[in-house]
């Protein structure tokens, strides 16, 4: 059930982000003054696109399993898969599971 709720939340946020992008694009295209302003903001839009690009992150750990499992986007390309492998390696090196378990056990005892 938790996985379902998480997936619904993820899909809803992706839909909201897509809608915001479309509304922004429509607003920019509606007037020449808006288009000129968008030109000034082009570096900001580029940075936003880079920071929200799923392929740069590769994926996120699936919690609750005894091991490392990285969940990637359904549209992942080779670049995204490479980054997912990087994320998996970082999770192993940083002992993600052991650290989460230690925090969980400490909270349970306190």
pLDDT digit string, tens, across residues 59-89: 989 888 889 999 998 889 999 999 999 999 9
Output the six-digit token pair for 27. Answer: 């607003």
Share of residues in the chain with pLDDT > 70 (%): 95
Three-class secondary structure of residue 60 per DSSP? strand
In angstroms, rounded to a whole number, what is the distance separating the alpha carbons of residues 98 and 28? Answer: 48
In angstroms, rounded to a whole number, what is the distance separating the alpha carbons of residues 30 and 67? Answer: 51
Which of the four pLDDT bands, split at 50, 70 and 90, describes residue 109? low
Q: Is the pLDDT of residue 3 over 90?
A: no
In angstroms, rounded to a whole number, what is the distance separating the alpha carbons of residues 62 and 71? Answer: 6
In angstroms, rounded to a whole number, what is the distance separating the alpha carbons of residues 68 and 45? Answer: 34
Three-class secondary structure of residue 70 per DSSP? strand
Output the six-digit token pair for 17. Answer: 């982000």
Q: pTM for this one?
A: 0.66
């Amino acid at each position: 059930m938790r996985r379902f709720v998480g997936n619904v939340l993820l899909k809803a946020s992706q839909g909201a982000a897509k809608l915001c992008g479309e509304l922004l694009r429509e607003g920019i295209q509606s007037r020449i003054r808006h288009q000129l302003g968008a030109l000034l903001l082009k570096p900001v839009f580029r940075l936003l696109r880079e920071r929200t690009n799923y392929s740069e992150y590769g994926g996120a750990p699936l919690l609750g399993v005894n091991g490392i499992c990285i969940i990637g986007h359904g549209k992942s390309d080779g670049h995204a898969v490479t980054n997912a492998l990087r994320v998996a390696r970082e999770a192993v090196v940083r002992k993600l599971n052991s650290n989460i378990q230690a925090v969980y056990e400490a909270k349970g005892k306190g």
